[in-house]
Structure 1
């Protein structure tokens, strides 16, 4: 029985870490956008591409007049959703 619990704890921890990394990438892109990072830089391009893929469902969800508000709201929403769902699943796995 303790082996099963250990496995679910590890799975829950892994899911939480993946959710944290996804949210970190999205948050990093928001900061880079707000600070007007050089988009010709390969790190900035990588973070932008990864964030765009992760927030594909939410990045144009809002139609604020200001571009920065659309970026913060769209990518920020994706980050919050990934954190909430990832940690909810992790918590559920860790309880069993």
Structure 2
């Protein structure tokens, strides 16, 4: 993340919550705390008021690496020089008809 925080200021922590089994963790927001235990307590108080989530993660914001909108093309642009990656480059599937005009299964 960009920018430095002032000396002694609490760190920013990103909060991820997994609502129930079978679902992925979702980014919920962020909290500020000096240590991971306090960050978990603040995240619990702020983001788990409703429901009973399966798990809660906190990750220091400065440990999260991001791609900015200026870097969009290297990360998210399609590889147009590799047409074999796109379904429109493949021939459509055809089915053979049997002697009675019916499809063979």
Q: TM-score, normalised by structure 2?
A: 0.21
Larger relative contact order, structure 1 or 2 (CA cutoff 8 Å, min sep 6)? 1
Q: TM-score, normalised by structure 1?
A: 0.22
Asked which structure has the greater CA Rg, the reply is: 2
